[in-house]
Structure 1
Amino acid sequence: MHCSYMDAGRCCSATRIEIPYPEQLATKQRVVSEALGPMEWAPAFPSAEAGFRNKAKMVVAGTVEQPTLGILGPGGLGIDLAACPLHERPVVTAMPVLREMVTRAGLTPYSVPDRRGELKLILVTGSPAGELMIRFVLRSTEALPRLRKHLDWLREKLPNAVVISANLLPTHVALTEGETEIPFTEKQLLTMRTNEIDLLLRPGGFFQTNTAVAAALYRQAAAWASEASPRSVADLYCGVGGFALHLAGPDREVVGVEVSAEAVDGARVAAARRGTSVRFEVGDATAVEHLDADLVVVNPPRRGIGDLAARLDASHARHVLYSSCNPTTLARDLAEMPSLRPVRARLFDMFPHNHHAEVLVLLERAVTKVR
């Protein structure tokens, strides 16, 4: 696959895009299998080569009359990547409209070198049904009246934009969003239908970047869990409840724990709509008291689970499903759980064209602890 932005030297994030995709996948499989050691490996699950990213985090730069949507280059100048071929088509289609919205509403792009301006980023997420969540990350409330004034125009141009909000990030920090969210639409939940299950994403909630590959990841987890037949499941770092809702079943107690209140709110609504008894709690996954469930699911950030590994090793959990986006920290954490033996693994290529890899590992307790 070729990208005009890469060819022009405007973007270098997809560092392996020039390598044929089958070769990329084979290399990732070799690297992760060497890092994690011998176990039963299912065939790697591939991604589409283009149009697979459901979210775009576009830094806004330039001027009100000529804004750029993309990244910052040398000196803090904007590099426009509005037509990035990695984004899903509805996300790409929205970019010219959003660029015009910046001009119409007089939203001054934030200048990083000068520390002046109002609009820092535009965050766009696309659902499998083609609906959009659009969030304007602002420095202050100064531009809110102008955004509201032109909201009808935006919704007319993008009728698939069902969730629109503003986020306030007043400080000069390298963050994507702040703590305050101001809704512009009555609806504030984006439906991410995955394997016939409606997962509900609220602004600020986390969802996997690649919907199709995430669906395969959840299917595999559900299949391995079905074979293990747990009576109780604890889904730690549960996000919007992807694993928990896929692993729910008759006569099975399932609880999800997540630090993000926004994500838990969406998960609870999804569970209620589905009519399932899955329970979701707001809390620190590393400090929970649910480690004696028959099956524990962990899906941590790139830093891994840290001290939680030793607690899991000492728990009564018979199985652990560990979903990791960082094979290095995954290998470290597996070494800290000697009582739990890795028996199966599968690579899911959530992030084509770079070295990142999502791996799902099933661990089984070598000796069942007496309760």
Structure 2
Amino acid sequence: MFIHQRISLPIHGLTHDAEGVGRYRGLTIFVPGAIPGDEVEAEIISVKKQYARALLRTVTKASPDRVAPLCPYYQDCGGCQLMHASYAAQLKYKHEQCRSALERIAGLEGALVRETLGARQPFHYRNKAQFPVSMLAGKVVAGCYQPRSHNIVDLDHCHIQHEDINKALQVAKEIAQKYQLSIYDERSHAGLLRHIVVRHAFSTGESMVIFVVNGETLPQAEKVAAELVERLPAVVSVQINFNRQPGNIILGPSTKLIAGRDFIIDQIGDLKFKISARSFFQVNPAQTLVLYEKAREYAALTGGEHVLDLYCGVGTIALFLASQAKQVTGIEIIPDAINDANENARLNGIMNTTFLSGAAEELVPRLISQGLAPEVYVIDPPRSGCDPKLLAALAAHPPQRLVYISCNPATLARDVKYLTTHGFTFVEAQPVDMFPHTSHVECVIGMQRKDT
């Protein structure tokens, strides 16, 4: 096999990042843009000992699951990976991703994995966008990066962002052009405006626009904010975020309010949440409710339990469970998130929650040594999964029930393997599609202590 060789290839599988998988003369071939059931002509672009990568050149026979992408930017933009597959097929792929990880990595052959819970509205579901900004031929452009590059695809409309976010992006670009704002160049680290960040609250209709700048100020900031608010009545907050560090981190450590208030209000179920510029908040509020309801089902609370919510963020899950628990304690390493969690508890009049700032793997053993014995744990770690010290603490003092929420089936399965060999029984898994048309899947798992 050689570079630029063209091969005919049937596609039989999909990787975790939605690349088609085929076999050619005993070698695994990865083909972005292909889906199971396709027969394709592909051009080899790299060859390794056990696999090769190829570009899709022609679909010679389309899979029954293949559809025409709705988005005109889809072939260039890196924001979505599965819009060329029917939504039913996307849900099937995500179910298989979770099932396969639990079988291959956790060793749970025949594990009960429910069908993926899909979104009622698989388009315009996102409540937050972070658009990089650039200058192209004298025009301000902003949108998404092309896959594996920092070339910006200038977007007029994104099919997964809320329509108010799309409107805000266009107006912000026009205003940046009108006031001739200096645009950031990441190669030279010169220029001012780096990103336009827009947040939108589905329940209240409020929007927030944040200009991320490589400097100490934004020229004509008051005029920029006034015109933005005048043209977009939904915008109740305009802010400047200061980020002078080179690299890929979008928001810097400090933010200045230039119009309106420094937060918007949104809801999950009956609960209200105050969202500031840097607050973490799930990007698909409708599916967040679906996810949390499933987590509450697996927690099986009767009103007398103490729940420990690890990696609690701004307290959304803890507050969602509080009405059915005796006490909920949340642990989060980011101090600002703990401040938001306490504020959200006050906002909703919830008195039976406590939020602690620190690393879960450090605080949990300490709390257990002090006599804390929660009946239920809820764990929602980052993509890297749980720290081994935390897993060891759970194994040493297993609660009656454990609910594990994950955005990475591989690390979820790794941690489940440890837990099932250290005092826990796997009950079932429920994939939830939080991000339609992308390769990402959320999965919530119910586990029990082996003697319960």
Q: How does the TM-score come out when normalised to structure 1?
A: 0.91
2:347 maps to: 273
Task: Identify the match of residue 129 of structure 2 among 56, 68, 72.
Answer: 56
2:385 maps to: 304
C-alpha distance 287-348 of structure 1, shift in aligned 2 (>3 A)? same
Deviation at 1:42, TM superposition (A): 3.6
After superposition, the C-alpha distances for 1:166-220 in whole angstroms (9 at most, x for unaligned) are 1111121111111122222452222121111112222211111211111111112
CA distance in 2, matches of 1:280, 1:199: 16
C-alpha distance 31-79 of structure 1, shift in aligned 2 (>3 A)? closer
Contact 1:64/1:107 (CA < 8 Å) preserved in 2? no
Query: What is the percent sequence identity of the aligned residues?
Result: 28
Contact 1:166/1:183 (CA < 8 Å) preserved in 2? yes
2:212 maps to: 137
Matched letter for residue 326 of structure 1: N
Q: How does 1:221-370 map to 2 (within 5 A)?
A: 221-227=295-301, 231-249=305-323, 252-277=326-351, 278-289=353-364, 290=367, 292-307=373-388, 308-337=390-419, 338=421, 339-367=423-451
C-alpha distance 293-189 of structure 1, shift in aligned 2 (>3 A)? farther
2:71 maps to: 3
CA distance in 1, matches of 2:152, 2:301: 51
CA distance in 1, matches of 2:249, 2:330: 27
Structure number with the bigger relative contact order (C-alpha 8 A, sep ≥ 6) is 1
Contact 2:201/2:266 (CA < 8 Å) preserved in 1? yes
Contact 1:76/1:112 (CA < 8 Å) preserved in 2? no
Helix, strand or coil for the counterpart of 1:5? coil
CA distance in 2, matches of 1:281, 1:107: 42
CA distance in 2, matches of 1:227, 1:42: 21
Deviation at 1:240, TM superposition (A): 1.7
CA distance in 2, matches of 1:212, 1:323: 17
Q: How does 1:32-47 map to 2 (within 5 A)?
A: 32-36=98-102, 37=108, 38-47=110-119
Moved more, 281-290 or 320-329: 281-290
C-alpha distance 70-169 of structure 1, shift in aligned 2 (>3 A)? same
1:22 maps to: 88
Contact 2:162/2:200 (CA < 8 Å) preserved in 1? yes
Moved more, 285-294 or 247-256: 285-294
CA distance in 2, matches of 1:226, 1:64: 59
CA distance in 2, matches of 1:285, 1:164: 34
How many residue pairs were aligned? Answer: 365
Deviation at 1:82, TM superposition (A): 3.7
After superposition, the C-alpha distances for 1:244-279 in whole angstroms (9 at most, x for unaligned) are 011002661111122223322222122112211112
CA distance in 1, matches of 2:261, 2:197: 17
C-alpha distance 82-283 of structure 1, shift in aligned 2 (>3 A)? farther
Contact 2:82/2:438 (CA < 8 Å) preserved in 1? yes
Deviation at 1:31, TM superposition (A): 2.2
- Structure with more of its chain in helix, by fraction: 1
Matched letter for residue 5 of structure 1: Y
- Structure with more of its chain in strand, by fraction: 2
Helix, strand or coil for the counterpart of 2:73? helix
Task: Find the structure with the greater CA-based Rg.
Answer: 2
Contact 1:104/1:150 (CA < 8 Å) preserved in 2? no
Helix, strand or coil for the counterpart of 1:233? strand
Helix, strand or coil for the counterpart of 1:15? coil
Contact 2:79/2:144 (CA < 8 Å) preserved in 1? no
Contact 1:64/1:106 (CA < 8 Å) preserved in 2? no
- The gaps in structure 2 that reach 5 residues or longer are 1-68, 103-107
Contact 1:76/1:113 (CA < 8 Å) preserved in 2? no
1:177 maps to: 251
CA distance in 2, matches of 1:251, 1:30: 34
CA distance in 2, matches of 1:259, 1:146: 37
Q: CA RMSD in A?
A: 2.2
Deviation at 1:63, TM superposition (A): 5.8
